Amino acid sequence: MRTYRKRLLVARHRGPTSPMKPVEEYIVSILNQMANMRQALCVSEGLALANALIEGTEWEKKVIEFKKKRGWNELDDKGNKKQPLGKKWYKGFFKRNSHSNERTRAA
């Protein structure tokens, strides 16, 4: 028997939702505004922006709690506090919001 892709239904479990989901829309709007002003941010600048936005808020607490449940340590080897959002979050953020991000044309 042959299986056809068009008929195949696969349940996709995408995993837990990001605790940053409500804040991500605001971050997207900031990134789009920056892109409209021709001031696109690199990954490190985008991460610094996102971490600065949530610093000292309930969202930072939610992210830290979410990550601690999954074995994340808040302190690095030297005892310094780590940033709650990292490159993996940023990569997932762009995947989740690729439809909302404005792209600038190459000049």
**Residue 14 φ/ψ region, left for φ over 0, alpha for ψ in the -120 to 50 degree band, beta for the rest:** alpha
Amino acid letter, 23 = V
Can you tell me the distance from the alpha carbon of 21 to that of 53, in angstroms, rounded to the nearest whole number?
A: 13
Task: Check residue 102 and give its pLDDT.
Answer: 60
Pick the more confident residue, 17 or 11.
17
Whole-model pTM?
0.74
Cα–Cα dist 34/40, whole Å: 6
**Helix (H) or strand (E) segment spanning residue 74:** none
Determine the pLDDT at residue 1: 55
Beta partners for residue 81, in sequence order = 75
In this prediction, residues 32-60 reach a mean pLDDT of 91
Highest mean pLDDT among 17-21, 77-81, 83-87: 83-87
Q: If pLDDT is split at 50, 70 and 90, which confidence band does 105 have?
A: very low
